Every structure is written in structure tokens, then in C-alpha cells.
Amino acid sequence: MENSLFKSVYNPDVLSCIANLSNDEVFTPPELANKIIDMLPQELFKNPDTTFLDPCCKSGVFLREIAKRLIKGLEQQIPDLEKRIEHIFSKQLFGIAITELTSLLSRRSVYCSKFPSSEFSAYQFPEDKPQGNIIYQRIKHTWKDGKCIHCGASQSEYDRGAELETHAYQFIHNLDVKKVFNMKFDVIIGNPPYQMSDGGGTGSSAMPIYHKFIQQAKKLNPRYLTMIVPSRWFTGGKGLDDFRDEMLHDEHIREIHDFGNANDCFPGVAIEGGVCYFLWNRDQKGLCKVFSHSQNKITAISERPLLEKGADVFIRYNEVISIIRKVASFNEESFSTLVSPRNPYYFRASFVESKNTINTCKVFGVESGKRVYKNIDKSYIERNIEELSRHKIFISKADGAAGQIGYPVPARILGKSEIAGVNTACTETFLRIGPFDSEQECKNVKSYIETKFFRCLVGARKNKNMTQSTYSFVPIQDFSKPWTDKELYEKYNLAQEEIEFIESMITSME
């Protein structure tokens, strides 16, 4: 006779569930989960009153590893193992799953059964709590003008049928967590979803979502908060300006562990810009301890403010900070004043050669993966027309293949620049540097751009897309002459270890 529990519980096809999972749900390896848990004061695991919440359960690994530590830590206070497990599971560990499948997986990991009220569960919850303390409820987005008011998801992308996940995550969709669990939490920990499609462009556009989990967690005012997220918020990220400003001014962030290569945390997973995890302490504030990691080793440790004076981004490498401070002491104008905003000529026409020979200019763009010039009617140039008669340099606004400081090592940071003569413009694929009065001046500027010194300072701010502000740490030079790294190292009195850092991190442009 079949167990009535399994008759009444919906048991979906596991392959259908897996197919519906978002590709942004990166599962946390147990070894990594334990390194994150190691940041917490270990006396928390000896206190029977400490409460833990994972608001974005995927595999349940955080709660499982915390349970192991509590089982050992409470040995003296609750000697009976069965009572100890009952206390831990019923009063100390709580989770909110991000999908139906991850709720089942998390309960299986933590309770040893996806059905916490069954006889197979390590602790048998009462029948009125069939999900135990790891809850999942399918909820709907709240649409307004085609977007969800809570997470910003696109209605055209996520207003879906019941057979598909909508990824309307409970924790950030106006869920009253205190009311659901009827308690405050000492520790909030997790690995939130990283991004969602916002329906932009061709539908492949993605917007960050992990910061909303951090902001919501802070509202609950836990004693400790720790999450692992992409490091893109350090310098860029779509819609992350306010979040970055908030984080960089938050003196309660006491530790950051930074990985330039996400493979060091998530083998086989590519996350541009790397990942980081942090520890936020409600009751303490001060300088942050920054750990730089590479190839499973800690390569540098420093204690410093998250926001360096004169900066509006987080500078991840200690060696770069000392270089930037030396450069800043010269009080020179920023090179960013020579760099155009995006789409400098407001060229939005199709990149098609004009059949006319009158009133045209050469436009620099990309076709079939190659950089080319085409004669285009000047009527398509809607901005900076007066610059056409001057010399300038064009440089790509996005060159992921050039790499970032730290990954791959060494990296070019920038793609090759193009010296452009008079009567030239570019498509929005490029930024304009200049304009200048002569081709020789452009050549001198190009020699500076190609130095490792220049590219190191750009790399300190580089994100996926280059903008005018990406060049703000770079000082302007006297461009009546060309420049070499040796001259720049001497001018700014760089120490040998700073020079070695630049030389080891930045490759030649060849």
C-alpha cells in the first residue's frame, strides 16, 4: 500500500525542473561555503540561541554546513544528539528557496529528506509544517509599465505559465520575513541569483539582481551578513551606481575576499570580473580587511577604507592604490577630459557605404569582425561635427578579450587604438580621444596609451564597457613628445615593487 504522503505531494519530473532553472543560479561548493562560514565568529556555533537564515537556498549547502558546526558546538549544552538535532533544525536554521526544485534539494541536503514531516527526515517536523523551516512559495511579479516594481524583471520575459519558473524571488518581493518566521536573525548568509533579463535590446540584456538581496538583508538588521556575489559592483555594473556608493561608504563591512578569476571559487564557471564574498558586522565599524586571492592562494592582505580618497570605485589591488596616490600628488589634469562620452558622433545609421561622393566623411566601424572605414554621408553625424576637420584617436569601448588586471595574467587591458586623420568619425563601437592639431601629437598620445603604466591605471577602473570615467585615474602628459614606461616610472617615483607589479600584470600591446 502506497504511503499517503507520496500520494498527496506533487512530484514533478526532475528533468522539467532542471530545464527551468536559470543559468544565473551558480551552486556553491561545500569547501567554498565553509570558507565563507569561517569568517563568522565561531562562538556563534556554541550558542543555542543563534539563528541563521539563507534567503536564497539553492542546494542547502550553507545550512547543512552550519548544522554540522552546531551539532558539534552544542555538544556540551545539549548532550543528547536527538534533542540537539531537534533544537537546531526547529529553532536555529531557516531558509527561503529560490525555486521549487532548489527547495526540494535544500531540504534533502539539510534534513536528509525532501519531505521534512516524513519518517525519513532527520528531524520530523509537525504535519502543519510540511516544508520544515526551508520554505518556498510560488509568487508573482508585480508589473507596472512592463517591469516588476520589486526586482525590475521584464514582463515580456517572465510573465509565464505555471509550468515555467518566473524567478520571482520571495525574499526581495515584499516578503515580511519577520512575520513568516516570527523572529530576528543573527546571521544572514547565502549565494543569491546574480542577474535577470530586463528585456533590453534583443532580449539578451541582463541586469544585476544580487544587490537587492544584500539590501533586503540589511533591512532585517542581522548581527552578521555574508554573501558571495560578482565583483562587478566594484567599478561598474548596470544600475549599480547607488549600490556601489552605499557599499563603499558602509564602514560595517569588515572583510572582503576578492577573486579576480571566478574559477577559483566556481570551477568551470565564467563570471566576468570575478567574485567576492564579504562580512558585514552590525555592531562594529572601521577599516576593511581586504584579501586578494589567486590560484587558491592569498596573494595580498591589507586593512584600508573601501573608498580611496578621490575615487568613486573600489580599487581591488593594494599595489595600484600606492601608484594612484603618487600620481594624484602631482595634481595633473585627468586624461578622461580627452575621452568622449559614448557614441561621440551620435552615429546611429546603418553602417552602409554612401554612393555619393559629395558631403561625405570616413566613418570608422566594425563589419564582419574587422575594423574598416566607410564613406558615409555627413548628414548622419549628429554631434561634434566641428571635430571632423581635426586629428583624433579611436579606441574600443568594449574589449573583453583584452582582459582585466589579475585575469588573465598578464593582460592587455585595452584593445589597439586607431589614429584617425581629418574628416573622420566613428560608430558607437568606439570612443574618441582628442581632438588634436596634428598627426604627430596623435602618435605621441598613442605611445602613452600603449605604456603599461597607462593601462594599469585604466585597469584599476575597467569593467566590461569602457567609459569616459574609466580613464579618470590617468594623468595628462606633455604630448609634444612620445612617452615610455621608464620615463613614467621615474617621473612618478615608483618603487621597484610597484614597477614589478605593473610589469607582471600588464602585457605588451603586441
- Asked which of 48-57, 201-210, 374-383, 396-405 is least confident by mean pLDDT, the reply is 201-210
Q: Residue 184: name the closest of 222, 225, 133 by CA.
A: 222
Whether 372 has a pLDDT exceeding 90, the answer reads yes
Q: Which is it for strands 288-294 and 253-259: parallel, antiparallel or unpaired?
A: parallel
Per-residue pLDDT at 344: 94
394, three cell numbers: 579611436
229, three cell numbers: 556575489
**Residue where the block lists cell 531557516:** 94
Whether 21 has a pLDDT exceeding 50, the answer reads no
Rounded to an integer, the average pLDDT of 11-21 is 44
- Asked which of 38-52, 201-215, 229-243 is least confident by mean pLDDT, the reply is 201-215
Per-residue pLDDT at 353: 85
Q: Which helix (H) or strand (E) holds 298?
A: strand 297-304
List pLDDT tens digits, range 138-158: 888 888 888 888 888 888 888
DSSP assignment string, 136-158: -------EETTEETTT--BHHHH
Whether 20 has a pLDDT exceeding 80, the answer reads no
Per-residue pLDDT at 200: 52
Rounded to an integer, the average pLDDT of 267-295 is 92
- Whether residue 278 contacts residue 245, with contact meaning beta carbons closer than 8 Å, is answered with no
pLDDT-derived band at 163, boundaries 50, 70, 90:
low
Rounded to an integer, the average pLDDT of 61-75 is 96
**Residue where the block lists cell 570551477:** 267
Per-residue pLDDT at 318: 83
**Which amino acid belongs to residue 86?**
E
pLDDT-derived band at 203, boundaries 50, 70, 90:
very low
pLDDT-derived band at 135, boundaries 50, 70, 90:
very high
346: exposed, middle or buried (Cβ count in 10 Å: 0-12, 13-18, 19+)? middle
pLDDT-derived band at 233, boundaries 50, 70, 90:
very high
Whether 388 has a pLDDT exceeding 90, the answer reads yes
Helix ranges (DSSP H) in 196-237: 210-219
Rounded to an integer, the average pLDDT of 348-376 is 88
Q: How many CB atoms lie within 10 A of CB 69?
A: 18
Domain boundaries, the chain: 335-505
Whether 347 has a pLDDT exceeding 90, the answer reads no
List pLDDT tens digits, range 426-456: 999 999 999 999 999 999 999 999 999 999 9
Share of the chain above pLDDT 90, in %: 61
Rounded to an integer, the average pLDDT of 109-132 is 90
Per-residue pLDDT at 197: 65
**Residue where the block lists cell 576578492:** 258
CA 401 to chain centre: 18
Whether 352 has a pLDDT exceeding 80, the answer reads yes
Q: How many CB atoms lie within 10 A of CB 46?
A: 16
Cα angle: 33, vertex 38, 40; to 5 degrees? 110
3-state SS class at 276: strand
The residue with greater pLDDT, 252 or 114, is 252
Rounded to an integer, the average pLDDT of 125-132 is 90
Per-residue pLDDT at 499: 96
Share of the chain above pLDDT 70, in %: 93
DSSP assignment string, 368-427: TTEEEEEEEEGGG--S-GGGGGSEEEEEESB-GGG-BTTBSSSB--S---EEE-SSEEE-
Q: CB within 8 A of 384, min separation 6: which ones?
A: 340, 344, 345, 425, 432
HSE-up of residue 141 (Cα within 13 Å, Cβ side) = 23
Whether 50 has a pLDDT exceeding 60, the answer reads yes
Strands (E), 20-118: 52-57, 93-97
250, three cell numbers: 558602509
Whether 111 has a pLDDT exceeding 90, the answer reads yes
- Whether residue 197 contacts residue 209, with contact meaning beta carbons closer than 8 Å, is answered with no
List pLDDT tens digits, range 299-334: 889 999 999 887 888 998 888 999 999 999 999 999
Model-level pTM greater than 0.75? yes
Q: Is the peptide bond before 29 cis (omega within 30 degrees of 0)?
A: no
Per-residue pLDDT at 288: 96
List pLDDT tens digits, range 396-421: 988 777 777 777 778 899 999 999 99
Whether 249 has a pLDDT exceeding 50, the answer reads yes
pLDDT-derived band at 2, boundaries 50, 70, 90:
very low
How confident is the prediction for the chain on average, in pLDDT?
88
437, three cell numbers: 592639431
Whether 490 has a pLDDT exceeding 70, the answer reads yes
Compute the distance between CA of residue 283 and CA of residue 286 in angstroms, rounded to an integer.
Answer: 11
Whether 482 has a pLDDT exceeding 90, the answer reads yes
Whether 185 has a pLDDT exceeding 90, the answer reads yes
Compute the distance between CA of residue 310 and CA of residue 332 in angstroms, rounded to an integer.
Answer: 13
Compute the distance between CA of residue 479 and CA of residue 291 in angstroms, rounded to an integer.
Answer: 38
